[in-house]
A and B are shown apart, each in its own frame.
Chain A
Amino acid sequence: MDFPEELKYTEEHEWVLVEGEIATIGITEFAQDQLGDVVFAELPEVGDELVAGKTFGVVESVKAVSDIYSPVSGEVVEINDELPDEPEVLNTSPYEDGWMLKLRLSNPDELDALMDAAAYQEFIEQD
């Protein structure tokens, strides 16, 4: 399984890519594998304020409903408009085409609480 070095990870299996004050958020390879075929994604809207640790959306596979938690706080500045029509990209490309949203970080210190790739890999192996 692939866990890119440049990303930060949560215990709920989301990833964050930070570029300046903008954070891109998605779900990990492990998360999509656990879910199985993703058939539905429900995302917030541009302008919504997300809070670290709170749910911001839902991803559903054929068998399961899974809440998605925001790794960090901030205002949503962009949504991946392709996802509602092609939720299967969460399976095929979780780190690239399957990105979920971008937000403007309101508290960058929250990033310190997230795991790096090595720590995340260790976390899922123990889990």
Chain B
Amino acid sequence: MKKTVLNQLHHQAGARMVEFGGWEMPVQYAGVIAEHMAVREAAGLFDVSHMGEIEVSGPQAFDFLQYATTNDVAGLVDGQVQYTALCYPSGGVVDDLTLYRFAADNYLLCVNAANIDKDFAWLQSLLADSDFSDLRLINRSAEYAQIALQGPLSESILAELTDTDPGTIKYYHFAEGEVAGIPTIISRTGYTGEDGFECYCPAAEGVSLWQALMDAGTPSGLVPTGLGARDTLRLEKAYALYGHEITAEILPLEARLAWIVKLNKGDFVGRRALLEAKEAGLKRKLIGLKLTEPGVPRESYPVLCDGCEVGYVSSGTMSPCLRQGIALVLVEAEIADGTQPLQIGIRKRHVAAERVKLPFV
């Protein structure tokens, strides 16, 4: 199993470690619910160094990214971040990612840990099969540690450690500065639905950055936070997760991601299939369900209507904030838009669920 530079710190902090996408990562320290609430009410610190970073640079970097990704890179300015995806020609998703524009000819893609090699190989093959040649693709994943500081107190904690005023960094923008004397890309992004920053620093400095942030934040209630809380936090906000809502078999249009698919920006990989699917009408849609009876919906549990299976749970959990079961479910389009009573099959029970507006929290 691969380990991040912070691995030993997690063990020392008493974290429970699990395998995630080929990496040994902390799933919890004090407990998922306590960590979840800390992020909603104060702040939490996540090791996300397992995520990958791929540089795309050179004169044709922009044109290549317009072709390879689904969102419109043209609207970006230097220092801006964009949520986007790589699609297959079928319209299914290779990976979802954030794209950082450093300059018109210099970008960094932050990709899911489990997909680093797959994404890099995919981009290389796209490049080889295309007319683009004047650009570089460099897998820089091993060079970076990435630490996410998330929660309403993030800005004040970070401000103690840097001359870069974090208050001047807008949502989905970044600045290059120093944090605790360590060169850091300070990105106002995250996966929790709270204010926060994702900090990229040289891998060798990861331990120092983590410790400086913990020392600065502990008096305000900052706690180390594991993958367990990361999942419940993102699910309460209905953020899609690779392998659940985002797969080669699900169109981004079905998964509430039409906003990152710019069908009118010009040609890109997957465009034709996505356009055809849109014109034909989507067969499935992702919606949110909240259980109205006790129970915990989980991935792959069936969604039932009149006793018939009409879809499945792509992600589910017990919401720590609502104290109710919540689920993202992929269901037949007419069910998604209808008002029929729905249930989720949990073992032998059919547990009543209601459609809710997303996000859940």
Chain A residues with CB under 8 Å of chain B are 36-37, 39-40, 42, 58, 60-63, 65, 84
Contacts and interface: CB of A to CB of B under 8 A. Distances in A.
Contacts of A84: 294
Contacts, number: 35
A65 B317 CA distance: 11
A37 B32 contact: yes
A40 B295 contact: yes
Contacts of B294: 40, 84
Contacts of A36: 16, 28, 31-32, 228
A108 to B, nearest CB: 31
Interface of B: 16, 27-28, 31-34, 228, 232, 294-296, 298, 317-318, 320, 347
> Binding site of B, secondary structure by majority: helix, strand, loop or mixed?
mixed
A58 B28 contact: no
Nearest to A91: B31
B32 A65 contact: no
B318 A39 contact: yes
Nearest to B228: A63
A63 B228 CA distance: 7
Contact of A62 (B33, B295, B347): B33
Nearest to A63: B228
A58 B298 CA distance: 14
Nearest to A84: B294
A62 B318 contact: yes
A62 B319 CA distance: 9
A63 B33 CA distance: 11
Given A36-B228, A40-B295, A58 B347 contact: yes
B296 A60 contact: yes
A84 B349 CA distance: 15
A84 B33 CA distance: 18
A54 to B, nearest CB: 15
Given A37-B31, A37-B32, A62 B298 contact: no
A60 B28 CA distance: 16
15 contacts: A36-B16, A36-B28, A37-B32, A39-B296, A40-B294, A40-B295, A40-B318, A60-B296, A60-B318, A61-B32, A62-B33, A62-B317, A63-B28, A63-B32, A63-B228
B228 A65 contact: no
A40 B295 CA distance: 6
A37 B320 CA distance: 10
B288 to A, nearest CB: 18
Nearest to B232: A62
